[in-house]
Chains A and B, each alone.
Chain A
Amino acid sequence: KAGVTQTPRYLIKTRGQQVTLSCSPISGHRSVSWYQQTPGQGLQFLFEYFSETQRNKGNFPGRFSGRQFSNSRSEMNVSTLELGDSALYLCASSTVLAGGGEQFFGPGTRLTVL
């Protein structure tokens, strides 16, 4: 069974631009969560999607948005990029929504904002 895949793996953007990151969960997994990892703030939860609906959202500004498609693939969008958005963006997939069980992470997309 293939693991969680994320594309692209690396991305360089400039301030003010927007970016879309993609995550394909493990086959059969319906929950996709997104996390931002930075040296200063560590791993922080962005949002979670289950069955195409956003079920939970972390404390990030509205410039961060996402969506999930009927095949459970998810995209995350960041508009009006700021230097502080430079980070490793990780997605995780799980079979269930209700409070846990195994969650598997992808390799991440490393975003650099210049």
Chain B
Amino acid sequence: GEDVEQSLFLSVREGDSSVINCTYTDSSSTYLYWYKQEPGAGLQLLTYIFSNMDMKQDQRLTVLLNKKDKHLSLRIADTQTGDSAIYFCAETPQGNNNDMRFGAGTRLTVKP
């Protein structure tokens, strides 16, 4: 099975908050990431959190990490139509490497 799991779809109205959830299995993960992918494009790094933190805020984005439950979430405040994309969460394991394990991605649709 996958190491990182996400729900596949999320639909919200413009102006609402979006919350995208992710669970992971490797408790030794050091960094957890959120990437955004628009159609036909590569991955854009949105934010990341080190595993000894439980929250990180960056403008409209808030990342919450519950290490005990291995649960990561990304909250987008005041969601705009330009936020429509696929959002991937990813983890890197402990150790000297940058091997990232990705979830399947959550497709966020923002309706006007």
Contact = CB atoms under 8 A, between A and B. Distances in A.
B92 A99 contact: yes
A105 B42 contact: yes
Interface stretch (B14-22, B27-35, B55-63, B70-78): B27-35
A37 to B, nearest CB: 9
B31 A100 contact: yes
A31 B98 contact: yes
**Number of chain B interface residues as a range:** 20 to 34
Contacts of B31: 99-101
A97 B101 CA distance: 16
**Number of chain A interface residues as a range:** 20 to 34
B100 interface: yes
B99 A102 contact: no
A100 B99 contact: no
Contacts of A105: 35, 42-45
A46 B93 CA distance: 15
Contact of B99 (A56, A104, A106, A108): A56
A99 B51 CA distance: 11
Interface in B88-112: 88, 90, 92-105
A99 B43 contact: no
A94 interface: yes
Contact of A97 (B96, B100, B103): B96
B96 A99 contact: yes
A4 B43 CA distance: 11
A104 B42 CA distance: 10
Pairs A-B, 3 closest by C-beta atoms: A100-B31, A43-B102, A105-B43
Interface of A: 4, 6, 31, 33, 35, 42-43, 45, 48, 55-56, 58, 90, 92, 94, 96-108
8 contacts: A4-B42, A42-B102, A45-B100, A55-B96, A90-B42, A98-B97, A99-B30, A103-B33
Interface of B: 30-31, 33, 35, 41-45, 48, 50, 88, 90, 92-105
